[in-house]
Amino acid sequence: MSAQAIGHVDLYQDAYFKHKVARVRNVQSDICYNLACLVTDNVVTSVKWSGLPETGKAFKRESSIILFYTDRDCFSDFIAWPVNTQSRDDLYFPVNFRLDGINDAVSSFMVADEWVVKGYRKVCNEAGLLDNSTSLGYIIGSTQDST
């Protein structure tokens, strides 16, 4: 079972955390978050997070990582950052995905604990629009267990 949901991930349309498009709350480890919304899919340029679990089993209790994928369902090329950047003095959040070659290409993300996708969450409703409840801390959409 994945870790308890405690943190959030903020997604920004522009570099250096300008023009926030969404906050995904109650983020759990080893759950793939799909950004298949008109306002979030393939528009993210910078990201911040807070309150995410900082250690992971796959990393022998070293820093967990957060992975950003260019396709849905966390199944593609990815770029990763250490989660513990949220509590270090020298904060190193991804300020500009252009530098990483994935600007306006991110379609999903996951915080890795065991580095196994244990389920999926959508940050959109069935119409493909950002679900207003996401900003209130709820994620509506199907949650599927991977088999």
Q: How many domains does the chain have?
A: 1
CA distance 56 to 35: 24
Q: Do the domain assignments include residue 32?
A: yes
Which domain, by its residues, includes 46? 7-128
What's the pLDDT score for residue 91?
Answer: 65
Q: What is the pLDDT of residues 39-67, one digit of tens each?
A: 788 899 999 999 998 887 766 667 789 99
Identify whether the C-beta of residue 86 lies closer than 8 Å to the C-beta of residue 49: yes
Q: What integer best gives the mean pLDDT of the chain?
A: 79
Q: Do the domain assignments include residue 134?
A: no
What's the pLDDT score for residue 60?
Answer: 67
- Compute the average pLDDT of residues 85-95: 76
More confident call, 31 vs 37: 31
Q: Do the domain assignments include residue 133?
A: no
What's the pLDDT score for residue 130?
Answer: 55
Distances (CA, A) of 81 to 14, 47, 78, 105: 19, 11, 10, 17
What's the pLDDT score for residue 120?
Answer: 93
Q: Do the domain assignments include residue 37?
A: yes
What's the pLDDT score for residue 90?
Answer: 67
Q: Do the domain assignments include residue 147?
A: no
- Compute the average pLDDT of residues 5-19: 90
Q: Do the domain assignments include residue 142?
A: no
CATH number at residue 114: 2.60.20.10
